[in-house]
């Protein structure tokens, strides 16, 4: 398409012009693709008798390291005390009871947990479902 554009810009749709104007071809020259060799119809697949101890892995497969289990007699490391600066100066969050609308919503949310969810099962023949869809 780039070659067509260079020879005659009108031969390419105008939507491609900005892209082709900024396009810089690679250093290699573009050569037309060689025609594919004719395929023979009755070629049997080649079978190899070579066996390998290395498993065959697809190129798209990722092999990740598995986490190593911790032995039962793991060495004991020294404990480290972490001191966070400024933690004594910060106030702890104060808990206050809900009032008004927030209290009503919280009460209703607690009560809604007692209502059973829709888990009932109803058997219905598939033909009946299809017929009902046609009626609707």
Q: What pLDDT is stored for residue 18 in this prediction?
A: 87
**Does pLDDT of 14 surpass 80?**
yes
Q: Is residue 84 part of a domain?
A: no
H-type alpha helices, the chain: 2-7, 17-22, 101-112, 126-135
Contact 4, 16 (CB under 8 A): no
For residue 5, what are the domain limits?
1-25
Q: How many domains does the chain fold into?
A: 1
Q: Is residue 12 part of a domain?
A: yes
Phi, psi of 30 (to 5 degrees): -80, 125
Most confident of 36-40, 48-52, 63-67: 63-67
pLDDT, one tens digit per residue, over 75-109 is: 666 666 676 665 555 567 788 899 999 999 999 99
Q: Is residue 70 part of a domain?
A: no
Q: How far apart are CA 5 and CA 48, in angstroms?
A: 49
Q: Which two tokens stand for residue 73?
A: 């007699």
Q: Is residue 103 part of a domain?
A: no
Q: Taking the alpha carbons of 111, 113, 116, 117 in that order, is the dihedral positive or negative?
A: positive
Q: Is residue 59 part of a domain?
A: no
**Does pLDDT of 25 surpass 60?**
yes
């Amino acid at each position: 398409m780039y070659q067509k554009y260079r020879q005659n810009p009108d031969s390419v749709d105008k939507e491609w012009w900005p892209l082709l104007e900024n396009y810089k071809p690679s250093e290699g020259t573009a050569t037309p693709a060689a025609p594919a060799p004719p395929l023979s119809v009755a070629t049997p697949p080649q079978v190899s008798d070579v066996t390998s101890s290395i498993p065959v892995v697809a190129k798209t497969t990722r092999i990740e390291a598995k986490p190593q289990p911790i032995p039962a007699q793991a060495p004991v490391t020294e404990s480290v005390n972490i001191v966070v600066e400024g933690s004594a100066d910060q106030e702890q969050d104060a808990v206050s009871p809900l009032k008004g609308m927030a209290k009503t919503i919280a009460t209703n949310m607690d009560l809604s947990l007692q209502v059973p969810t829709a888990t009932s099962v109803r058997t219905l023949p598939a033909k009946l479902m299809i017929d009902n869809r046609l009626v609707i």
